[in-house]
Structure 1
Amino acid sequence: MKRILVVGASAAGLAAVETLRREGYEETITLVGDEPHPPYDRPPLSKQILAGQWEPDRLALRSVADLYALGLDLRLGATASGLDLAGRTLLLADGTQLPYDGLIVATGVRPRRLPGEGAHVLRTFTDALALRERLGPGRRLAVVGAGFLGAEAAAVARGMGAEVTLLEPAPVPLAHAVGEEVGRVLSGAHLDNGVDLRTGVTVAEATGDGVRLADGELIEADEVLVAIGSLPNTEWLADSGLETTDGLVCDEYCAAAPDVYAAGDVARWHNPLFGVPMRIEHRTNAAEQGMAAARNLLHPQARKPFAPVPYFWSDQYDMKIQAYGYLRGHDEAAVVDGDLGERRFVAAYRTGDRLSGALAVGMPPKAIHRWRQAIAARTSWSEAVRSG
Structure 2
Amino acid sequence: MPVASVSSTFVLDNGACSLKAGYSSWSSPNVIPNSITKAKSEKRRIFIGNQIDECRDLSSLYFMLPFQKGYLTNWDYQKQIWDYMYGKQCLNVDTPSKNLVFTEPYFNFLSIQEGLSELFFEEYRFKNVFRTHPGDLTCYKNKMEHPEEPCCLVVDSGYSFTHIVPYVDGKRVRNATKRIDVGGKLLTNHLKEIISYRQLHVMDETYVMNACREDCCYVSLDFERDLTKAESRTESRDYVLPDFTNLRRGFMKSPEASNGRPEDSEQIIRMNNERFAVPEILFHPSDIGIQQMGIPETIAHVISECPEETQRWLYQNIVLTGGLAKMPGFRERILKDVRELAPNEFKVIVRLPEDPISYAWQGGAALADDPIFRELSVSKLDYQERGHQACVDKYYL
Provide the TM-score with structure 2 as the length reference. Answer: 0.28
More helix by share: 2
More strand by share: 1
Provide the TM-score with structure 1 as the length reference. Answer: 0.29
